[in-house]
Structure 1
Amino acid sequence: MLDPWVARLLDRLVGAYRLQARQDPGQQSRFAGSLNDLAVRLSRLGKPEEALAAAEEAVLVHRDLAAARPDPYLPHLGTALNTLAVQLGNLGRPEEALAAVEEAVLVYRDLSDAHLSDLAMSLNNLAVQRGALGQHEEALANDREAVLAYQNLADSNPDKYRPDFAMSLNNFANRLAAFERHEEAMIIAGEAVRICWELAAARPDAYRPNLAISLTNFANRLAAFERHEEARIIAVEGVRILRELAAARPDAYQPNLAKSLGNLANRLGALGRHGEALIIGAEGVRILRELAAARPDAYQPNLAKSLGNLANRLGALGRHGEALDVVEEAVQVFRELVAARPDVHRSGLETCLRLQSWLREQIDGGEQPLT
């Protein structure tokens, strides 16, 4: 595979540029750029801690350069701040990620229209971090602004900007759905799928990951209108693509595969196919357990939600004792999350507590349905 080889080459180049920069301060810009590139490559290879270290150093060097000569180096500082925000978010540190990307947005707002694409990317990242902290109204406004910017860019240069436009549409659709604006969300998610399908047909290696994510999102939008069989078919295709990608590069694609498996389990459950839903959901939980064991801050929230869903699957099959064990684990994880971020995770805890109570009633001989 090319990417690991490129990362190793970049690592060597960073070392060479570091030495050159010590000997000749005029080489600092090249050194800083190589650090940022290395951070991006390491992140794609599923090495978040190493990526964060490179990103932090890139910001420090770019900040010094921009302080001395703002005109040529402020745009590069903005890029480095965006990279840093993504790495912090990947490691479950959203407050720090938010601070970094807010600074990036301020940088690009002060620059000319020549940096509109950088501003759009920063707004997308800002929405992601605000959403992670429960700031959904602000995130929706950021997503809307990013979509408009990318649409303008794609109209003038479709080959370059249609991929970014499609992913911004996905983000916007998800945000609209969170506000129960389902009709708008479905239309927008469908457009993202259409664009990604065309891109993946022309360059599958580059755009199949984006297509898989778009398919998963569109399946969720269809499910909101109870179009469950259509949603299942589309979710299956998203999982199929991500299985292939994760088989080749597990560190990079297992997180998305776990999410897609969870969504497919929900689609199967909505069709009453609880046995299949249980198998698929359990696979997603297994992946998330491994991810959360290595990086709890980043993956415990998804693990807690998936455990709650898995308990629902077991409960639907009448396996109440097993379901209670699973939901009690979910409650334990959610309690830890609520202690750190109550506004973000309280509703998840409350949902699992209701399920826990219902399951105990079933085991004790109660017959009320779960609502």
Structure 2
Amino acid sequence: MEIRRGLCERHGQEEQFVSLLADGLHNTAVYLMECGRWKDALKAADEAVAIHKALATDNPDAFRPGLALALTTLSGAARLMGLRDRALEAAREAIAIRRELSDARPETYRADLANTLNALSIDLGELGLHGEALDAARESVKTYRELAGKHPRAHTYSLPLSLNTLANSLLSHERPDLALEAAEEAVRRFGKLTEEHPGAFRAELAMVLVTLAQGLEGVGRLEDTRDALERSASIYRSLAATAPAAFRPGLAVCLNNLSALLFRTGELETALRTVEEAIDVNTRLARGKAAAFADILNKNWLVKYRCLVGLERFGDAMTAGEKAVRGLRSLAGSAPERYEADLAMILSSTGILLQFAGQPEQALRRAKEAVEVSRRLMGRDPGRHRALLAEHLEKYGNQLFALGRLRQSLAVAEEVLELRREVLEHQGNATTPPTQVRAQAQAQAQAQAAQAALTFGIRLLHCGRRADALPPAQEAVDGFQVLHADAPDAYAASLASALSQLAALLFHAGDGGAALETGARAVDVSRSVADPDTTAFATAAAFSTYGMIAAELGEGNALDLLAEAVDLCRACAEPTGPVGEIQLAQTLTYFGQHLAAVPERHPEALRASEEAVTIIRRLVDAFPLLRSATATALASHGLRLAEAGRAREAADTTKEALELARLLARQDHLAHRDALARALSAFARARLLTGDRSDLAREASAGAVALLERIARDEPAATEPYLREARDTYDRLRQ
């Protein structure tokens, strides 16, 4: 390049030397793009375009074709840098020039127009403009077909390449059926070329087989998908044996796609071995050219991370995830629009691993960064990234909730619900889809909106706003009912969970009959599936809620329901991890509380409350959210100890419960007033049962009565039994 610049300077910027400089800059830009040096490529392409424009002003016939070519390269470099508007502007300017040239001299320039349309389709697709990309790809194929009709042997290579682009565009446009037709034709044409020219066109055949595999997967033909990818990998391996530098990149892409397919079909060990081969290939290719292979290596690390998580090798998964985080941070720094979505995903996902590894603050920082990245993306393109922001806000809110930061998690849940409603509105009505794929997307949006409503209701409930939680709980039930009507087994667990939540809220709202009916329906829905294992946790939770409501309303079968709930919760506690253990502990607390009403079952009640406390103590450090449940479980266990005559233990346990409940209530009284009321009442009654009528006992009793009276103003029916017992304790302590 320096020689060409020197020639221009020595010859006074003569046209022939300036033209050489422009061509050299263009070629340099293409080379730099292949090396992954996109910023430098963009600079070179910019300069090439500027020179070509100046030359074309004076001599358009000679230099407009070169200008169109330089603009096409500039568009590609800008796209790789994430400069959406610049990429589109350059691509459209190139097409406009190609059209004018083609109209003026079709025999000379129609093939160039078709080639530029093909390149434009790829760029438009990368920029998310799938409609325009599809139009460009179709026009490219149509033009090449017309040209091939006149000169059959001249375009046998270009036509199947444009068919491959069309297939990829149709895949992005959610038409795998049509994509499959285009890809099959491309495979047939390249297959014929390999037969006619042994040893040639095999790389192109391997490439279109990868596209064919995507079309096959899109229509659910997974075995054929695997066959196509394995055939492609076999060709690439054969080619790479003699020319590794030329064909290993194609092999690596094929192996990555194959490993991702194997992951999705549950063949995790095979998927892991395959992606590790891809990593080995790409690592060797990247020596001395790290930037050129950073993109595909990051795809490899993401697939490996998912495989390791699926295999529950969480330590190894974290190592792979950290490699992906570092790589994506670097790539997103230079091309944010292209890489920030993947960066947000891996930040959020590794954050969850950190949480379960006992590093909650580090996990929260990861989740927060994922949200910040997603907000940037949505700010640039709300339509494309609204669902992404909702997804990462959801995970961030879950971590806030687990840490007991209830108000913050509530605000996040409300924003998620609004975003999910907007996504659903843009998707349209899930019952009238234009295609099967679109129907699936709409159903997913409806399910996510319903789940967001359910989550918002749960957060309101935990913040002490039970009345406000009723409308979103009903919204969740309504949403899941629509989906359940079309796909009962797929949505039974979700509908049962929403119904259980609604039942509990109806009980607190004073509508015991509706609560009992809704709770029974939740149980029925959860048990209506063909494979009960798929709804085991939802069934256990539904029985727990239904049994609690039945017990509070004095139903004769309440203890049997709660006993069955305990058995169901115990069965799914291990498979579901902490979530299942928490459900078991809460159910045991309810069970012990209501067993205590039957004197001969006091020993059983004590065992239930003791097990509940043991479980919650083990989990509370990792999940500070459980501190309120811990106070309630300790209060209940303290009463069981008092009933067993173990006065000292009862006094210590209820004291611990009260101290914790008071601490929580000072932080957020509304959220924790139920726990405080239970702890005050238990503290006083445990002392009454063990003969302690001290001032502390009477003071706690008076506090319990006063607080329960305030709660009863909002929820008289649900609070009345607890208030009655608290008044009885108060009266007896004063005697």
Q: Shorter-chain TM-score: what band?
A: 0.7 to 0.9
How far does residue 97 in structure 1 lie from its aligned partner after superposition?
Answer: 0.8
Which residue of 43, 48, 59 maps to 2:38?
Answer: 48
The structure-2 alpha-carbon separation of the partners of 1:137 and 1:233, relative to structure 1 and needing over 3 Å to count, comes to same
The structure-2 alpha-carbon separation of the partners of 1:356 and 1:193, relative to structure 1 and needing over 3 Å to count, comes to farther
Cα deviation, 1:247-270, whole Å, max 9, x if unaligned, reads: 6379x948x946x45532331134
Partner of 1:338: 378
Partner of 1:128: 122
Partner of 2:92: 102
CA contact (8 A) 2:371 2:389 kept: yes
CA contact (8 A) 2:341 2:377 kept: no
Cα deviation, 1:280-323, whole Å, max 9, x if unaligned, reads: 397343686576444324477457449859999xx9xx99948x
CA contact (8 A) 2:82 2:337 kept: no
**Which residue type is aligned with residue 382 of structure 2?**
P
Aligned-residue sequence identity (percent) comes to 29
Structure 2 residue runs of 5 or longer lacking an equivalent are 277-298, 303-319, 403-454, 456-575, 582-735
CA contact (8 A) 1:85 1:98 kept: yes
| TM-score, length basis structure 1 | 0.75
> Within 5 Å, which residues of 2 pair with 1:124-203?
124-157=118-151, 160-197=154-191, 202=197
Instruction: Find out whether 1:233 has 2:273 as its counterpart.
Output: no
Instruction: Find out whether 1:214 has 2:215 as its counterpart.
Output: no
Partner of 2:314: none
CA contact (8 A) 1:305 1:330 kept: no
Partner of 1:29: 19
How far does residue 176 in structure 1 lie from its aligned partner after superposition?
Answer: 1.9
How many residue pairs get aligned? The number is 351
CA contact (8 A) 2:22 2:52 kept: yes
Q: State the distance in 1 between where 2:205 and 2:77 align.
A: 23
- 3-state SS in 2 of match to 1:134: coil
Instruction: Find out whether 1:57 has 2:74 as its counterpart.
Output: no
Supply the RMSD in Å over aligned alpha carbons: 4.4
How far does residue 163 in structure 1 lie from its aligned partner after superposition?
Answer: 3.2
How far does residue 188 in structure 1 lie from its aligned partner after superposition?
Answer: 0.6
- 3-state SS in 2 of match to 1:115: helix
CA contact (8 A) 1:85 1:96 kept: yes
In terms of Rg, which structure is larger?
A: 2
Partner of 1:283: 300
The structure-2 alpha-carbon separation of the partners of 1:290 and 1:117, relative to structure 1 and needing over 3 Å to count, comes to farther
Which residue of 232, 241, 245 maps to 1:248?
Answer: 245
Q: State the distance in 1 between where 2:232 and 2:355 align.
A: 31
Cα deviation, 1:316-352, whole Å, max 9, x if unaligned, reads: xx99948x97995766644443333332333444456
How far does residue 79 in structure 1 lie from its aligned partner after superposition?
Answer: 1.2
**Which residue type is aligned with residue 86 of structure 1?**
G
Instruction: Find out whether 1:81 has 2:77 as its counterpart.
Output: no
**Which residue type is aligned with residue 331 of structure 2?**
R
CA contact (8 A) 1:289 1:303 kept: no
Instruction: Find out whether 1:295 has 2:331 as its counterpart.
Output: yes
Partner of 2:474: none
- 3-state SS in 2 of match to 1:234: helix
Partner of 1:365: 579
The structure-2 alpha-carbon separation of the partners of 1:352 and 1:23, relative to structure 1 and needing over 3 Å to count, comes to closer
Q: Which moved more, 1:298-307 or 1:123-132?
A: 298-307
Structure 1 residue runs of 5 or longer lacking an equivalent are 1-10
CA contact (8 A) 1:268 1:277 kept: yes
Q: State the distance in 2 between where 1:204 and 1:144 align.
A: 30
Which residue of 52, 56, 60 maps to 1:70?
Answer: 60
How far does residue 239 in structure 1 lie from its aligned partner after superposition?
Answer: 5.2
**Which residue type is aligned with residue 377 of structure 2?**
L
Q: State the distance in 1 between where 2:129 and 2:63 align.
A: 31
Q: Which moved more, 1:337-346 or 1:101-110?
A: 337-346
CA contact (8 A) 2:25 2:45 kept: yes
- 3-state SS in 2 of match to 1:162: coil
The structure-2 alpha-carbon separation of the partners of 1:95 and 1:234, relative to structure 1 and needing over 3 Å to count, comes to same
CA contact (8 A) 2:325 2:347 kept: no
CA contact (8 A) 1:334 1:345 kept: yes
Q: State the distance in 2 between where 1:204 and 1:334 align.
A: 47
The structure-2 alpha-carbon separation of the partners of 1:23 and 1:357, relative to structure 1 and needing over 3 Å to count, comes to closer
Q: Which moved more, 1:277-286 or 1:179-188?
A: 277-286
